[in-house]
Structure 1
Amino acid sequence: MSANRKDDHVRLAVEQQRGHRGHNEFDDVSFVHDALCGIDRCEVSPATRFAGITWDHPLYINAMTGGSVATGAINRDLAIAARETGVPIATGSMSAYFRDESTAGTFSVMRRENPDGFIMANVNATASVEQARRAVDLLRADALQIHLNVIQETVMPEGDRSFSHWSAQIEKIAAAVDVPVIAKEVGFGLSRAAVLALQDMGVAAADVSGTGGTDFARIENDRRDGAQYSYLDGWGLSAPACLLDSQGTQIPLLASGGVRNPLDAARSLALGAVAVGVSGGFLRTLLDEGVAGLIARISAWQEQLVALMTALGARTPAELARRDVLIRGDLRAFCLDRGVDLRQLAARSRSFDAASRRRVLP
């Protein structure tokens, strides 16, 4: 059953990716164009640093799959793409491995194909400390993701129905493992309250993983007879909404969910993310164009994100959070309801640009 479910997840996720790719709330975020803020390409360093972690580029391949023969092959190819482009990568949930150790190779193939890369193991919030350590050991993982998926579990026919112990378990795992712990949603977003709670639990970072990408409520509903939960399609908060809602929190934030192109990645960094993850879009590229196609796509994203940083005058990913941004549409209404200071976002570059231009001009 577990292997079939993993294969179903991949099939249904790709079907979603091949469906509508219209407007999402990243389109409600725009940079205020400044014709004189550009810098030289040689000044730009795309490296990002957070929670004792350094990545050469603020892009990563986010959690997807594992647990069956077919998904093991996908993980192998994803790991090759990660190796060739130098991006970090996460496995999918390793719950299948805890139930059946014969599936170990569908996850450990990532380390075999990418021996020197940054790899994140992935467990759910019900995992024991011992299971979390086993996951890290199997992959010789550099970090551990704990995924939060209460809506997915609710819709999943065989899903969990008890959630009250999740916070305590996350705190135990974060204190017990020897690698940084990153808590992540699976596509429904993290509110400010959730981010602050995770901060108190001692996790190293939070991946907001918002709506707009793969919808796991829809996937699990498609696995049901009768689609009883179709009214939950689209449930949650977008990644831009999560980042804006969590302005001023102390925990590093990663952004994923609905990231379609390098501009969405730049928007995420401008809203405070330290790095940006992609799952479904890269999976579709892999299945449609093979490993070579995925390598080419990731490489193009890396090059184009640096080009955008150069045009926007950002020497580092963190400096994108100094650029002025305007918030429109439904996202603006969300911000007004949640008390986000939109005027500050629209004019925050003034002091930085004045000082920067004085250093350059005689």
Structure 2
Amino acid sequence: MISQRKDDHVRLAVEQQQALDGRNQFDEVSFVHHALAGIDRPDVSLATTFAGIAWQVPLYINAMTGGSTHTGAINRDLAIAARETGVPIASGSMSAYFKDPSCADTFRVLRQENPDGFVMANINATASVEKARRAIGLLEADALQIHINTVQETVMPEGDRSFSSWVPQIERITAAVDVPVIVKEVGFGLSRETVLTLRNLGVRVADLGGRGGTDFARIENGRRELADYAYLHGWGLSTAACLLDARDPGIPVLASGGVRHPLDVVRALALGASGVGVSGGFLRTLMDGGVTALVAQISTWLDQLGALQTMLGARTPAGLTGCDLQIHGTLRDFCADRGIDTGRLALRSSSFDALHEMTGSTR
């Protein structure tokens, strides 16, 4: 039953990716063009550092799958792509492994094929400390993701219906494991209030996991006999909205959900993300063209990220937070309702340049 659910998730996610209309709220974020802002490509680095974690690139393959023969083969190819391109990678939820240890290799392959890479294990918020440690040990993981997904669980026919234990359990796991804990949503977004709660629990990093890509309410509804939760399709906060809402939360944030191309990556970094994750788009490429096509796509994205930083005058991904942005449309309406001053984003380069002129450093 578990392996069938995992295979259903992959099938429905790919179908959903093929049906997306191509637009989301990242389109309501634009850069103010400064024609003389460009720098030299050799002066640009893609490296990013946050919460004691150092990545050579600000892009990662986010949690997808595992738990069946089919999804194990997908994880093998994802791990090869991560190894060949140097991007970090996260496993899918390892709940299947806890229920059936015989499927361990469908997750373990992420480390076997990528022995020197940055690998994140993934568990849910109901897992015990012992299970968290088992997940980390199986993958020799460099970090632990804890996913939170009340909307998905609500629509899932066999999903959880009790959520009050999640906050104290996240705190217990965070205090007990020896690797950084990253708490992530699965596509419905983390509000500022949620991120502040996670910070207070000792969580090192929040992956905002916003609306705009794979919709797990839609996926789980597709598995219901009556498909009677269609009214929850599209629930949640977009990734762009989450980034704007977070505004100096006291812990680093990662951005995932609805990232379609390198410009979205750069937009997310400019809005304050330390790294940007992709799941559905990379899965579709893998299913359509195999691991060779995915390696080519990720390599192209990394090359174009460097090109866009060069054009925008940002020597590092963090330097993009000094670029001027304009917020439009419904995203601007969201900011007005949440008391977020979007005007300051359009004038950042003047204050950034003044600060760094005094310190002698550059973007």
Superposed counterparts of 1:201-240, under 5 Å: 201-240=201-240
- Partner of residue 250, structure 2: 250
TM-aligned CA deviation for residue 352 of structure 1: 2.6
Structure 2 CA distance for aligned equivalents of residues 63 and 291 of structure 1? 17
Structure 2 CA distance for aligned equivalents of residues 210 and 294 of structure 1? 23
- Partner of residue 80, structure 2: 80
- Amino acid of the structure 2 residue aligned with 1:114: N
Q: Using structure 1 for the length normalisation, give the TM-score.
A: 0.98
- Partner of residue 125, structure 2: 125
- Amino acid of the structure 2 residue aligned with 1:105: D
- Partner of residue 36, structure 2: 36
Q: Retained in 2: the 8 A contact 1:91–1:107?
A: yes
- Partner of residue 162, structure 1: 162
- Amino acid of the structure 1 residue aligned with 2:222: D
Superposed counterparts of 1:283-302, under 5 Å: 283-302=283-302
- Amino acid of the structure 2 residue aligned with 1:200: N
- Partner of residue 58, structure 1: 58
Kindly provide the CA deviation profile for residues 58-99 of structure 1, in whole angstroms up to 9, marking residues without a partner as x: 000000000000000000000000000000000000000000
- Partner of residue 327, structure 1: 327
Structure 1 CA distance for aligned equivalents of residues 21 and 174 of structure 2? 36
Structure 2 CA distance for aligned equivalents of residues 250 and 357 of structure 1? 26
TM-aligned CA deviation for residue 20 of structure 1: 2.2
Structure 2 CA distance for aligned equivalents of residues 91 and 352 of structure 1? 37
Structure 2 CA distance for aligned equivalents of residues 327 and 235 of structure 1? 21
RMSD: 1.2
Structure 2 CA distance for aligned equivalents of residues 87 and 351 of structure 1? 33
SS state at 2:104 partner? helix
Residue 146 (str. 1) matches residue 176 (str. 2): no
- Amino acid of the structure 1 residue aligned with 2:259: V
- Amino acid of the structure 2 residue aligned with 1:345: L
TM-aligned CA deviation for residue 110 of structure 1: 0.7
- Amino acid of the structure 1 residue aligned with 2:295: I
Q: Percent identity?
A: 70
Structure 1 CA distance for aligned equivalents of residues 355 and 137 of structure 2? 48
- Amino acid of the structure 1 residue aligned with 2:10: V
SS state at 2:314 partner? coil
Kindly provide the CA deviation profile for residues 333-359 of structure 1, in whole angstroms up to 9, marking residues without a partner as x: 000000111111110110333566897
Structure 2 CA distance for aligned equivalents of residues 356 and 253 of structure 1? 24
Q: Retained in 2: the 8 A contact 1:37–1:353?
A: no
Structure 2 CA distance for aligned equivalents of residues 355 and 89 of structure 1? 35
SS state at 2:214 partner? coil
- Partner of residue 134, structure 1: 134
- Amino acid of the structure 2 residue aligned with 1:291: V
Structure 2 CA distance for aligned equivalents of residues 105 and 122 of structure 1? 15
- Partner of residue 338, structure 2: 338
- Amino acid of the structure 1 residue aligned with 2:324: D
Structure 2 CA distance for aligned equivalents of residues 356 and 311 of structure 1? 19
Structure 2 CA distance for aligned equivalents of residues 300 and 211 of structure 1? 25
Structure 1 CA distance for aligned equivalents of residues 24 and 36 of structure 2? 30
Structure 1 CA distance for aligned equivalents of residues 153 and 130 of structure 2? 22
Structure 1 CA distance for aligned equivalents of residues 17 and 81 of structure 2? 20
- Amino acid of the structure 2 residue aligned with 1:54: A
Residue 183 (str. 1) matches residue 183 (str. 2): yes
Structure 2 CA distance for aligned equivalents of residues 21 and 97 of structure 1? 35
TM-aligned CA deviation for residue 43 of structure 1: 1.0
- Partner of residue 271, structure 2: 271
For structure 2, the residue ranges without an aligned partner over 5 or more in a row are none
Q: Retained in 2: the 8 A contact 1:155–1:220?
A: yes
- Amino acid of the structure 2 residue aligned with 1:152: Q
Structure 2 CA distance for aligned equivalents of residues 155 and 11 of structure 1? 18
Residue 174 (str. 1) matches residue 179 (str. 2): no
Equivalent residues, number: 360
Q: Retained in 2: the 8 A contact 1:187–1:215?
A: yes
Kindly provide the CA deviation profile for residues 13-61 of structure 1, in whole angstroms up to 9, marking residues without a partner as x: 0000111232200000000000011111111111000011000000000
- Partner of residue 115, structure 1: 115
- Amino acid of the structure 1 residue aligned with 2:226: G
- Amino acid of the structure 1 residue aligned with 2:333: A
Kindly provide the CA deviation profile for residues 267-320 of structure 1, in whole angstroms up to 9, marking residues without a partner as x: 000000000000000000001011000000000000001100000010111110
Structure 1 CA distance for aligned equivalents of residues 87 and 223 of structure 2? 33
Superposed counterparts of 1:95-106, under 5 Å: 95-106=95-106
Q: Using structure 2 for the length normalisation, give the TM-score.
A: 0.98
- Partner of residue 21, structure 1: 21
Kindly provide the CA deviation profile for residues 100-154 of structure 1, in whole angstroms up to 9, marking residues without a partner as x: 0000000001111000000000000000000000000000000000000000000
Bigger shift: 187-196 or 17-26?
17-26
Structure 2 CA distance for aligned equivalents of residues 323 and 130 of structure 1? 44
Structure 2 CA distance for aligned equivalents of residues 154 and 96 of structure 1? 19
Structure 1 CA distance for aligned equivalents of residues 101 and 20 of structure 2? 38
For structure 1, the residue ranges without an aligned partner over 5 or more in a row are none
Structure 2 CA distance for aligned equivalents of residues 40 and 354 of structure 1? 21
Q: Retained in 2: the 8 A contact 1:184–1:209?
A: yes
Q: Retained in 2: the 8 A contact 1:3–1:68?
A: yes
